[in-house]
Structure 1
Amino acid sequence: MRLLKSTQVSDLHSNISHRFTRKATRAIVLNGENILLLYTKRYHDYTLPGGGIDEGEDNISGLIRELREETGAQNVNNIQEFGYYEEYRNWHKNDYDVIHMLSYCYSCEIDQELLAPEFEPHELQNGMQPLWMNIHAAIIHNEMVIKNSEKKGLSIERETFLLKRIVAELL
């Protein structure tokens, strides 16, 4: 899979060898210029559905599971590689100084009808909800959050970059 972008925070801890790698998938589901996204009330942003790949799970199985859990999507098909986004960020939990985040992105199709999502407790606390959104409006919204919000999440730069690449390459 092709590398879309590699980033690291400007104040990255010097002990990058004391890191752990987290692999995740991100789903790109388009319907014209509308895209299936997650809105997160806590950060007031839009992100691609997806999340961590479980131990022993391959990327495609993780993609399908996360898409079903977060959006209620059914019959995920026509899965195509889009690219991956690599990040190095400081980690503020025990045992590691740095997280190496790999987000594998795939375009796919789903049935129009969405079932109820099965959010994890932290996702419910953050006020996550799936919705169809015009991709251009989502980009503009996220750019305003990046520019003006003190409570923005760590993933918004990645997500906004990915949305722009989707517009450039898939629309």
Structure 2
Amino acid sequence: MRRLFIMDQKDYDNSWNRYKRPSVRGIIIKNNKVAMVYSRKFDYYKFPGGGIENGEDHITTLKRELTEETGLTISENTITQYGSALRIQKSRFVENEIFEQENFYYLCGTFSDAGKQALDEYEADEGFELQFVEPEYAISVNRTHDHSDYDAHLIERESRVLESLVKDRLL
């Protein structure tokens, strides 16, 4: 899969332990709008998806995460690779640890409209909801609204992927 970009904060010591958390994200486009998960609590947009669990392949994780976060059912034969974004930074939770996350983005189609979400506790607390939005709007919200102390690097990563989709004329 092609690498879209690297976000390396260089705010760590290379001698620290490295925690790798690969993730998959789904890109669903309908009528020049993109399916995004909106956080009502922190006022930002992200692509639906999440971490790859032990023993899962990318497609299994993608289908599970998108169904949980959006209620949408992914049509497996529509899934195609788009690109990855590598994020490296000091852990926000563990002292003297490097957090490394490769995010694999896939274009995909769905069978039907959204069904019922199956959010975990933190997702429900954030008020995750599916919205189809124009990419410029999501980028604007992500870059100009106050997100409290939420993860600014995650929010910027999603904005950069949206910009890449626009540049590639997919949106």
Contact 1:28/1:108, CA 8 A, preserved across alignment: yes
Q: Are the structure 2 counterparts of residues 91 and 31 from structure 1 closer, same or farther at C-alpha, using a change threshold of 3 Å?
A: same
Q: Is the Cα–Cα contact under 8 Å of residues 67 and 73 in structure 1 kept in the other structure?
A: yes
Residue equivalent to 1:137: 137
Equivalent residue number for residue 151 of structure 1:
149
Aligned AA (2:167)? A
TM-score by length of 2: 0.90
* Letter paired with 1:151: D
Alpha carbon RMSD of aligned pairs, Å? 1.7
1:16–1:98 Cα contact (<8 Å) kept: no
Match of 2:102 in 1: 102
Distance 2:167 2:93 in 1: 37
Measured at CA, do residues 132 and 8 of structure 1 come closer, stay the same or move farther in structure 2, by a change above 3 Å? same
Give the Å deviation of 1:51. Answer: 0.4
The gaps in structure 1 that reach 5 residues or longer are: none
Which amino acid is 1:163 matched to?
Answer: L
Task: Specify whether residues 149 and 39 from structure 1 end up closer, same or farther in structure 2 by C-alpha distance, changes over 3 A only.
Answer: closer
Equivalences for 1:66-105 in 2 at 5 Å? 66-77=65-76, 78-94=78-94, 97-105=97-105
Distance 1:44 1:106, change over 3 A: same
Partner SS state of residue 14, structure 1: coil
Q: What is the TM-score with the length of structure 1 in the denominator? A: 0.90
Structure 2 unaligned spans of 5+: none
State how far apart, in whole Å, the 2-side matches of 1:143 and 1:65 are: 29
Asked if the contact 2:90–2:98 (Cα under 8 Å) also holds between the matched residues in 1, the reply is yes
Deviations 1:15-43 (A, max 9, x none): 35511110100100000211111001222
Q: Which runs of 4+ in 1 moved over 2 A?
A: 92-96, 148-154
CA contact (8 A) 2:74 2:108 kept: no
Distance 1:116 1:149, change over 3 A: closer
Q: Deviation of residue 92 (structure 1)?
A: 4.0
Percent identity for Structure 1 against Structure 2: 26
Question: Is contact 2:89-2:99 (8 Å) kept?
Answer: yes
